[in-house]
Amino acid sequence: MMYVNEYDRDGSAAAMGFYAVKRFDETIQSLGGVSTPSTMDEDIHKHIDRHVNLYNHKFSVDVKSAKATNRGGVITIDHVWVEFQNVQGNKGWLYGEEDFLAFETKKNKFVLVGRRLLAEFCEKSVDLTDRVSSADAALYKAYKRDGRNDIISRIPLNDIKTINHTMLIKKEN
């Protein structure tokens, strides 16, 4: 069952996430691992999409699809959105219980980075006191969308790659 947030007006964000998770599962399987779904409660409250067993390591992952800077815009892999506070005003996925974040960079290619390391990086790099009113201006700044309680920011994917990370690339048969 696919969770659709009440703020996802047309379900498109949920669909993008669903297909990114499907590609993540295929990537893990191609590498000889197992990726199993989380419970709905884990997904919503702990920010865990998958439990993974790969190379004799077990860990939880929140999978992030590539997104556009602006809703309905062109999908980009150059920047990623990070969530300090979610749309309900609760802690964002940077402070969830997932071990890792998997950012989709290209079809069947993911950057896997530790959640705690990413949160520490974002806390140092993003100026949460500098509030902006547009997605275009949200690079390293706090952005709150109208009618929502979220606090999000954009950061370059290349900056995430400066943090200790792993590239997961689907093996072709």
**Whether the predicted pLDDT of 67 surpasses 90:** no
Of residues 84, 54, 20, the one with CA closest to residue 166: 54
Q: Is the pLDDT of residue 8 over 60?
A: no
Q: Identify the pLDDT of residue 17.
A: 66
* Cα–Cα distance for residue pair 106/69, rounded to 1 Å: 16
DSSP-derived secondary structure letter, 139? B
Question: What whole-number percentage of the chain has pLDDT above 90?
Answer: 71
pLDDT at 10: 59
Answer yes or no: is pLDDT of 144 > 80.
yes
Per the model's pLDDT, the better-predicted residue between 53 and 106 turns out to be 53
Query: Where do the H-state alpha helices sit in 31-113?
Result: 40-41
pLDDT of residue 80: 92
Q: Does residue 100 surpass a pLDDT of 60? A: yes
Higher pLDDT, 43 or 84: 84
Q: Is the pTM of this model over 0.85?
A: yes
Provide, rounded to the nearest whole percent, the portion of the chain with pLDDT above 70: 87
Report which of residues 141 and 2 the model is more confident about.
141
**The pLDDT of residue 146:** 85
Q: What is the pLDDT of residue 147?
A: 85
The HSE-up count of residue 4 (CA atoms within 13 Å, CB side) is 10
